[in-house]
Amino acid sequence: MIPIPLADLARAAGRRKSTRLRPVVPTRTLADDLYAIYADSLRVWADLAIELARDYTQPAPVRTDADGMQLQWLVNQAAAKADNTLIYQTEKLGRWVSRVGEWHGRKTISSVQSALGVDIAPYMRLSDIREPLELSIRENVSLIRSINADTRTKMEAIIFDAIANRRNKKYVTDALAAAMGVTKKRARRIANDQLHRLSITLTSLRNQQLGIETYIWQTREDDRVRKVHAARNHHVFRWDTPPFDGAPGNPINCRCIAIPQIEL
């Protein structure tokens, strides 16, 4: 990553005062786009849940070996389909992380322009952040695979509980629907968290590229803020020496943001 002489550019533009940058805050649209990629894999399991609720949950118990083997075969087929979709999800994730990288770059350019009147667009390259973008792809593929595995386990448990305990149709239908609901909520939380983590990683890298060494920790200042993060609110930290759990947005499900400080 080639350093950008922001301080020199600012002084050349007549700027002498230290200031703060407008933070780059992830948008709901970007989170929705990532969740849609997760949902593509989950659709396989949702379809299976509908099929099982329709065909394999009669009031009478399903206890024969043949029925059990058929049910297991259906689950195995769904798992294979979910694995196959990862090829397409990886391609979609590649496009998504590139879009996030470009969006983050535009926001950083705009923030610097607004604060200092300096145009850093000629210095900003997507290739500078290629490594964290590729890491984000790998992490999301791993998370999708993990969600698929957990979903398979839940589906098998519900199905074979129904066989062993003579569950009726409504019970199994409700159990499958509830399991898918929990899975979708988890996928939504993961998508939001992954976007936030990628955004703060890019902010850290771009700030250090610009020679910005410090930031102010800003919480949402509500009752969901962790006590350890509330204690950091409005305090100054360095990018090169973050707290034990990382910069704002890096801890899992952290909603805090970093407000960069430019020292001139």
φ, ψ of residue 15 in degrees (nearest 5): -85, 135
Query: What is this structure's pTM?
Result: 0.90
Q: What is the pLDDT of residues 58-100, one digit of tens each?
A: 544 445 555 567 777 888 888 888 888 888 999 999 999 999 9
Q: What does the alpha-carbon distance between residue 94 and residue 5 come to, in Å, rounded to a whole number?
A: 30
**Nearest residue to 48 via CA among 144, 167, 148:** 148
Nearest alpha carbon to residue 183 among 85, 79, 52, 41 = 41
Rounded Cα distance between 239 and 255, Å, is 18
- The answer to whether the CB of 218 falls within 8 A of the CB of 229 is no
Q: Which of 42-46, 106-110, 145-149, 193-197 has the lowest mean pLDDT?
A: 42-46
pLDDT in tens, 126-150: 999 999 999 999 999 999 999 999 9
**What pLDDT digit, counting tens, does each position of 198-242 carry?**
999 999 999 999 999 999 999 999 999 999 999 999 999 999 999
Query: CA 154 from chain center: how many Å?
Result: 23
Residue with tokens 């705009």: 110
Helix (H), strand (E), coil (C) string for 190-209: HHHHHHHHHHHHHHHHHHHH
| Distance (Å, whole) CA 258 – CA 242 | 11
Cβ neighbour number for residue 11 with a 10 Å cutoff? 14
Tokens of 203: 């902010």
